[in-house]
């Protein structure tokens, strides 16, 4: 059975040479253990951080050890009192076709209630990040204007829709015209801006937000964020969710000082990691599931097929090749 290890730490943009495939035989399960068969693998931008050895909120991957991410697996055999053969479980697992686990931190997911892949996206970390980041930090009020960067991605497309549910004017920023059309036509954003074809982002945002920006949900950082911050309103809130545009940088960029804009606007900027709101996860999932059921919330996925394609699916996140949540079906 196959597994994928970290072969080397990337410098700058990661590529396929940072990963290596190996095979192993699968041991017998002992008492309290499960044999799991991988079904779906979540690939996420934050895994880039774990490929480096810099100190972070989550420990780095080790060279020559399997990469891990949140996955969905079927229980093939169980000596565990919480899980039975045939159950589908989710949790942090290794990039292996088959693996033995003690089931720690896993929970069952029900394929009758939602497609299994949805538990990696809208009903998983993606949905919670969008919902709790926006409500806990963005604190939106009806009638306000919100800008979302990375708007056609997994988190961004969800944040925009939640913004609409909560009565905001929502402007999204994404990398292609097709994505801009998608966020407007399928996800109900009021306006969209293609940052790859727009020369003056600061002006484009000003035009799309005639009343200024009250909430900025930031997935990308860098120059796109500077342009948004030049347009913020008094008492505005910036939710610093991600900074994908700088994850592959090897040197610190020359600072564009946004502080004067924060000062004169008494504006709040706050980062977070989704585990900060652990106590609110159950209520968050409940709310997301309700909106899904009511048809108020939609989601899209880019599903790649085959275990061998996991590293490429991850690498493609940095090329914007996904719409919505990138998932690999094994």
Using CB under 6 A, list all residues that contact ligand NDP. Answer: 44-46, 125-126, 129, 150, 152-156, 174-176, 179, 219-220, 224, 241-245, 272-274, 317-318, 320, 322, 326
Q: What share of the chain is helix, strand, coil (3-state, %, to 5)?
A: 30, 30, 40
CA distances from 4 to 41, 42, 69, 120, 234 (A): 12, 14, 12, 20, 49
* Minimum distance, C-beta of residue 121 to ligand NDP, in the bound complex (Å): 8
Contact present, 209 and 115 (Cβ < 8 Å):
no
The smaller minimum CB distance to ligand NDP, of residues 138 and 153, is found at 153
Provide, rounded to whole angstroms, the least separation between the CB of residue 194 and ligand NDP: 8
Place of tokens 């000082």: 257
Query: Shortest Cβ distance from residue 136 to ligand NDP (Å)?
Result: 11
Residue 142 to residue 168: CA distance in whole angstroms: 6
Q: Which is nearer to ligand NDP, 103 or 153 (CB)?
A: 153
Nearer CB in complex with ligand NDP: 34/173? 173
Q: Which of 186, 261, 266 is closest to 226 using CA atoms?
A: 261
Instruction: Give the 3-state secondary structure of 73-88.
Output: EEEEEECCCCCCCCCE
- Taking the C-alpha atoms of residue 128 and residue 280, their distance in angstroms, rounded to an integer, is 9
106 vs 299, beta carbon nearer ligand NDP = 299
**178 vs 305, which CB is nearer to ligand NDP?**
178
Separation of alpha carbons 153 and 163, rounded Å? 15
C-alpha span between 212 and 233 (Å, rounded): 6
Question: Which residues does residue 217 pair with via DSSP β-bridges, in sequence order?
Answer: 148, 239
Q: In whole angstroms, give the CA distance from residue 75 to residue 83.
A: 8
Residue pair 257/287 in contact (Cβ under 8 Å)? The answer is no
| CB nearer to ligand NDP: pick between 170 and 243 | 243
Cα–chain center distance at 226:
21
Please answer whether residues 130 and 150 qualify as being in contact, where contact means their C-beta atoms are separated by less than 8 angstroms. Answer: no
- Minimum distance from residue 135 beta carbon to ligand NDP (Å): 14
Closest to ligand NDP by CB, 50 or 80: 50
Shortest reach from residue 295's CB to ligand NDP, in Å: 22
CB of 230 to ligand NDP, least distance (A): 17
Name residue, tokens 């990375």. 150
Show the beta-strand stretches assigned E in 13-106: 19-23, 34-42, 68-78, 88-94, 98-101
User: What's the closest the beta carbon of residue 178 comes to ligand NDP, in angstroms?
Assistant: 9
CB of 275 to ligand NDP, least distance (A): 7
CB of 196 to ligand NDP, least distance (A): 7
């Amino acid at each position: 059975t196959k597994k994928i290890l970290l072969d080397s730490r990337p410098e700058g943009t990661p590529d396929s040479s940072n990963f290596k495939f190996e095979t192993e035989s699968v041991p017998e399960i002992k008492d309290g253990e499960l044999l799991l068969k991988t079904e779906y693998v979540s690939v996420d931008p934050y895994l880039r951080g774990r490929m480096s050895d810099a100190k972070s909120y989550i420990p780095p991957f080790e060279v020559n050890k399997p990469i891990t991410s949140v996955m969905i697996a079927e229980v093939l055999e169980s000596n565990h009192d919480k899980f039975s053969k045939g159950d589908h479980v989710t949790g942090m697992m290794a990039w292996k076709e088959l693996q033995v686990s003690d089931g720690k931190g896993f929970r069952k997911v029900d394929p009758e209630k939602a497609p299994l892949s949805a538990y990696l996206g809208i009903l998983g970390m993606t949905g919670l990040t969008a919902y709790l980041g926006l409500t806990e930090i963005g604190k939106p009020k009806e009638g306000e204007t919100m800008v979302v960067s990375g708007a056609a991605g997994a988190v961004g497309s969800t944040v925009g829709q939640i913004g609409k549910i909560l009565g905001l004017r929502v402007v999204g920023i994404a990398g292609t015209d097709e994505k801009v059309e998608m966020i407007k036509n399928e996800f109900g954003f009021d306006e969209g801006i293609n940052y790859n074809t727009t020369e003056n982002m600061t002006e484009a945002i000003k035009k799309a937000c005639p009343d200024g920006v009250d909430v900025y949900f930031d997935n990308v950082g860098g120059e796109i964020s500077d342009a948004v911050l030049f347009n913020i309103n008094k008492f505005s809130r910036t939710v610093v969710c991600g900074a994908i545009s700088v994850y592959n940088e090897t040197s610190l960029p020359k600072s564009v000082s946004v502080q004067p804009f924060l000062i004169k606007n008494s504006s709040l900027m706050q980062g977070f990691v989704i585990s900060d709101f652990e106590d609110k996860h159950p209520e968050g999932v409940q709310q997301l599931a309700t909106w899904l059921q009511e048809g108020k919330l939609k989601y899209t996925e880019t599903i790649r097929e085959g275990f061998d394609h996991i590293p490429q699916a991850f690498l493609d996140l940095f090329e914007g090749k996904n719409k919505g949540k990138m998932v690999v079906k094994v």
